[in-house]
Structure 1
Amino acid sequence: MTTTNDTTSVSPSGGRGAERAGQLETRGIGLVPEDERGGRPHQLFAVWAAPNVSYLSFVVGATLILMGLTLPQALGVILVGNLLWICTGIVAASGPVAGTSGSVISRAMYGVVGNKVVLVLTGWLIAAAYLALNWSAASVAGIGLAGRFGLPDGSVTDAVVICVIAGGTLLIAIFGYTTIVRLYTALSVLLTMVFVVVTGYVLAAADWSYTPAEPLKGTALAAALGTGLAIIASTPLSYSNSPDLARYLPRESSSVAVAGWTAFGAYLPSTVFTVVGALAATSLDMSEPEAALESVLPGWFIPVFVIAVVVNTMTNNGMTAYSASLSIQSVGVRLARIPAVLIIGVLGTAMTLYAILVFDFLTSVNTMLQLVVVVTGPAMAVAVTDLVLRRNRYNGTDLLGQQRGGPFWYHRGVHWAGVLALVVGGLTSVMWVNTSFWTGPIADALGGIDLAIPSGMIAAAAVYWAMTRALRSIPRI
C-alpha cells in the first residue's frame, strides 16, 4: 500500500498562502515556493517578542518568591531557565531550509507513521493545554474587567468572556503568517509600552531588601530551585513549532541569524517581565496576581492594563493555534488549515472553561508547567540532536513525501531511534519530576528535588544519538 504525497495537496481548497496582511492564509503544510518567500531573520524578533511581553511572566516570577526563594535566587533561576530559548531558536533554523512546518520536519525524527502518533500528544493535546493555560490567564483578567463595567458576576459571564477571547485568538491564527508578522510588530511595541508602565509602578513598590521569613536551606532550597527552573524552562521547551513561521524566510537565510533573532526575541521580554513578577511579590500579595498588580496602578490605567493582558494572551495563543492546525494536517486528517484551527480552538476553549470554573488558576498554572516538561523536554532534545546530526540539511520535498520506501519511511513507517528516545526521555523525566499532582520516585527519595528537564533531555539526546548511529538511519555528512 502506498500513501499519498502531500507536497502538492496542501489543502482541500488548493489555495495559495496569503501574500498580504489581512488575507486569509489557506496554505497548510505544503512546501512554500521560493517566489513566495521573503523578509529577513530580524523580523522574527517582533514575532517572538509580542507573545512573551506577558502577564503570565508576572505570575510565574511571583511564584518563585511564593515558593520561598530569595530575590537573588529567583533572579538566577529566571536568567538560567530562560536560556532554553536557545533550543527554540536552533529548531527554528530548520524552517527556511525545509520550507515546511515543524510538524512535517519531525518526520525525520520519528518516521512518517511514528510522527503521527507523536503529534497527537505534542501537537494536539499539549497545544490545547497551552491554549487553555493562556486563555485562563486572559479570562481571569477579562472577567475582572467585565465586573468593572457592571456585568453580572457568574458562570454565564465567565463563559462569554472566555469564548470572546478564544474567538479573537482564532481569527489571528486563521489569517495566518503575513498578518501575524505585521500585527505582532505593532503589538510588540504597544504591549511593551503598557507593561513598562506597570513595571515602573511595581519597581516603586518593590521591597529590594526582601528576605523570606524562613529562608530555605539544604534539600528544601535545592527542591525549590529545581521546581523553579522547571516552571521557567517549560515555556521555551513548548515551542518546538518554531520552524512554522521561519519557513517563509528565503532558503538562503542565515541559520545563525534565524536562531539568534528567534531566541533573543523571546528571551528578552520573558526574562524582564518574569523578573518584574518576582519583584512584585516582594511587597504585594501575588496569590491573586491581577488584584495585586491593580492595587499599585492608578484607576484610569487598570482597564488599559487588563486589555493589554488579554491582547498579549491572544498573540501567544494565535501562534499556538496556527501551529496546532498544521499538526492536525500532518497527522493525515483531510482538513483545510482554517477548519483545523477551529477544531483545536474548540478543544482549548473547553479546557479553559473547565480550568476557570473548576480549578484554582495559580495551582493550574504551576502544575501544568511542571508536568508538560516530561514530554516537551525530551521532544526538544530529539529535535535539536537531529538538526545537529544532519547539519540542518532537510529536504522539504522528501519530508512531504509519505510513500512506502521513502527516505523517512524507515522501518514500517517508524524511526525507532526517535520514538525510543522520546519514551526513554519521558520516563526519565517522570522519575525526577516533583509536582502537587505527582512526585517521581527519584525526586521523592532526594527530598523533592526536581531535575525532570535536564535528566529527560540528556537521556533523550543520548538515546537518539546512540540509536541513529547503531541503526545508521542518519547519513554521516
Structure 2
Amino acid sequence: MDRNRSHGESIEQHSIDYVPPEERHGKPWHLFTVWFSSNVQITAFVTGVLAVTLGLDLPWAVATILIGNLVGAVFMAYHSIQGPRLGVPQMIQSRAQFGFLGTLLPVVIVLCMYMGFGIEGGVITGQAFANWAHISFTWSVIIQGAVPAVIAIVGYKVIHLSTRVVSVVSGLLFLALTIALAGHLPEHLPSGPAPSFGTVLLVISIFVSWQLTWAPYVSDYSRYLPEDTPSRTTFLWTYAGSALGSSWVMILGAFAATISAEAVGDDAIGMLSQQIPGLSSAILLAVVIGIVPAGVYGYYGMYLTAISAFSAKGHGSATPLVRAVFIVVSAALTIAATLMASGHILSTVENITLFLLYLLVPWTAINLTDYYVVRRGHYDVGELFRPRGEYGLVNWPAVVVYLVAIAAQIPFISSSLYTGPLVDYLGGADISWIVGLLVATVLYLAYTRRTRKVAQPVGARASAPGSHAPLSVD
C-alpha cells in the first residue's frame, strides 16, 4: 500500500496483518495519552473505592493502590515494547508460544475479559448517567455502547486522536474533584488498628489485576510506531500513562469512599457531582466522555483478538467492512448483557477483576518469558501467519503449562465467590497471582530449555506475511 494513501485514509486499512516500516507513524509520547485516558475514568475510580470498602483506612488504601499499580504496570509496559518491534497485534504474537490454533485458549479468555469489562463499565456508568441525564437505563447503556463502537470502527488514528482530547478533559475534571474531595477529608478520616496482611495483599492483587488486564492488547496501540523506537522510550511512556493515571484516580476513589462508601456504591457520578454543585452538568459530561476510551479499546481489541483466532492472512481477509460488522455485533451483545446484569456495583467490580487476574497472570508470564528470555525478541513474523509454519498448529506443552499454572492458583484464591483451602493458613492473603506467575515462568523455562528452544542469533530475520522478502525485527 502506498504510504501517502495510507496516511490519507481516515479509516484504518490494517487489521491483524504486519505493519510494514514505510507505514509506521506516530510518536512514543502518544502512548502516554492512550493509557492515561484509559485509566482516568469512572471505572478506575470505583475500583479504588474497594480499598476502603474491603477494610483499609485511607493511608493503607493509598499505599496498596500505589504498590499494586506500580508493580502491575511493569508487566503491561513490557508488552508494549513488542508492538514496534514486531508490528503485529498482541494475540498474533502469542501464536509463537501456543501455536496457530493453540492461541484459541487464551483468545477465548481474553474475549471474556473484554465482555466482562464492558458489562462492568456499563453497570457503573449506566445507572448514574440515566439518573442524571433523565433517560432510561436502557437508553443510557445504548448510548454508551454506540459512541465507542463508532470510533473503534474508524480505527487506529482516530482512537489515538480521541485519547488526547479525553486526557485533557478528564485530567482537568479529576484535578477539580481531587481538590474538592481533599477538602472534605479531615473531618471524615477514621482511626483504627492496622489491617491484616491478608487484607492488604488482597487489595494489592486487585490493583495488580487492573494493570494486567491491559496486557493482552497493550501492544496493539504501539505496533504502528517506527521499528527503531527505543524500547526504553516505549516502556516509559506506556508505564507512566497507565501507572500514574490509574493511581491518581483510584486514590481519588479511596478519598470518596472515606467520605461515604455507600454514596459512591449507589451513585458514583451523583456523589461526585455533589462535591461541586455548580458544575454537576459539566462533571456528568466529562465523566461520560472519560469512559469512551475504555469502550473503544474493548471493541477494537475484541475485534483484533477474535480475528487472530482463525485468520491466516489478516489484511484482505479482514477488511474495514468486516471490522465494522464485527464491532456492531459485539456492541449489541455487550449492551444486551449489561442490561441483564444485576447485583451491587462494588462486588461486581471486585469479582470480575480478581477472576481475570487468575486467568491472565499465567498467560502474561509465558508471553514475556518467551519474548525476553527464550527468544530475546527474535521472531519470524511471517511464520506467525502460517498455520503449519515454524510455530505449529498447537504447542501442547505451552498449553499444559498455562493450565497447570491456573490450577496451581486455586488453593490460594481469596474472593467473595470462592476461597481456597490454603487461604486461612496465610491469614486470608490472596497470593494466587504470585503463585501463577512463578509456576508459569518456571515450567515454561524448563520446557524450552529441555527442547532447546533458545534465542536465535543476533541478526535474526523475519519474512513479511505473504512474502518471502526478509525484514528485520531487531
| TM-score computed with the length of structure 2 as normaliser | 0.88
Out of 366, 369, 379, the residue aligned to residue 350 of structure 2 is 366
Residue in structure 1 matching 2:109, options 121, 135, 144: 121
Residue deviations 1:252-281 (CA, integer Å, cap 9, x gap): 111111111111111111111111111222
Alignment of 1:4-403 (within 5 A): 19=7, 23-83=10-70, 84-122=72-110, 124-147=111-134, 151=135, 157-207=136-186, 210-212=189-191, 215-217=193-195, 221-240=196-215, 241-285=217-261, 286-288=264-266, 289-298=268-277, 300-332=278-310, 336-355=322-341, 358-389=342-373, 390-402=375-387
Residues 274 and 280 in structure 2, CA contact (< 8 A), matched pair in contact too: no
Q: Which string of whole-angstrom CA distances, capped at 9 and with x for unpartnered residues, describes residues 354-409 of structure 1?
A: 22xx222121111111111111111111121111122222332222222x2x1111
Equivalenced residue count is 442
1:302 alignment partner AA = S
Contact residue 18 and residue 24 of structure 1 kept, 8 A: no
Alpha-carbon deviations, 1:42-72, whole Å to 9, x = none?
A: 2111111111112222212222112221222
Unaligned runs of 5+ in 1: 1-7, 9-15, 152-156
Deviations 1:316-347 (A, max 9, x none): 12112111101111111665222222233233
Give the partner amino acid of 2:107: L
Q: Which moved more, 1:276-285 or 1:194-203?
A: 276-285
TM-score (norm 1): 0.88
Structure 1 residue 76: deviation in Å? 1.3
The letter for the 2-side match of 1:61 is G
Match of 1:4 in 2: none
* Counterpart code for 1:325: Y
Distance 1:199 1:169, change over 3 A: same
2-structure distance, mates of 1:20, 1:352: 37
SS in 2 for 1:26: coil
CA offset at residue 349 of structure 1?
Answer: 1.9
**Structure 2 CA distance for aligned equivalents of residues 74 and 384 of structure 1:** 30
- Aligned CA-pair RMSD: 2.2
1:98-134: CA deviation from partner (whole Å, max 9, x where unpaired): 1111110000111111112321122x11111111112
Q: Determine whether 1:428 maps to 2:408.
A: yes
User: Partners in 2 of 1:35 and 1:394 — Cα distance?
Assistant: 20
Question: Percent identity of the aligned residues?
Answer: 26
Could you say what secondary structure the match of 1:284 adopts? helix
Aligned partners of 1:137 and 1:456: how far apart in 2? 30
The 1-side partners of 2:58 and 2:377 are apart by 40
Gaps of 5+ in 2: 312-316, 458-474
